[in-house]
Amino acid sequence: MTIPRPRWLLLCFALLGATPAAWAQVAPADSAALIATTQGMMDAIVTGDTTAWAPWLLPQWFLTDEEGHHITRAEFIPDMHPIPTGQSGEIKVVNPHFAAAPGVIVFSYDADEVHHFYDQVLRTRFHATDTWVGQAGAWKMLASQVTALPTPIEGRHIDKRLLDPYTGSYRLTPEIALTIAVGDSGLTMTRGSGAPQRLYAIDDRIFIRHGVRGFWLFERDQHGAVVRLVNWRDNNAVVWRRE
- For the chain, 243 residues long, the average pLDDT of each consecutive 10-residue run is 37 38 61 92 96 97 96 97 94 95 93 96 96 88 95 92 97 96 94 93 96 94 97 95 96
Give the integer Cα–Cα distance in Å for 133 and 139. 5
Give the integer Cα–Cα distance in Å for 3 and 33. 6
Cβ proximity of 106 and 34 under 8 Å: no
CATH numbers and ranges of domains, the chain: 5-149 (3.10.450.50), 160-242 (2.40.128.50)
What dihedral angle (degrees, nearest 10) is formed by the CA atoms of 109, 112, 143, 72?
180
User: Where are the alpha helices (H) located in the chain, listed in sequence order?
Assistant: 5-16, 28-47, 73-76, 160-163
Give the integer Cα–Cα distance in Å for 227 and 169. 10
Question: Which residues, in sequence order, are bridge partners of residue 93?
Answer: 111
Tell me how far CA of residue 7 lies from CA of 11, 92, 131, in angstroms: 6, 24, 18
Cβ proximity of 36 and 1 under 8 Å: yes
Single pTM value for the model: 0.77
Give the integer Cα–Cα distance in Å for 140 and 70. 19
Q: What is the pLDDT of residue 93?
A: 97
Q: What is the pLDDT of residue 176?
A: 95
Give the integer Cα–Cα distance in Å for 196 and 188. 6
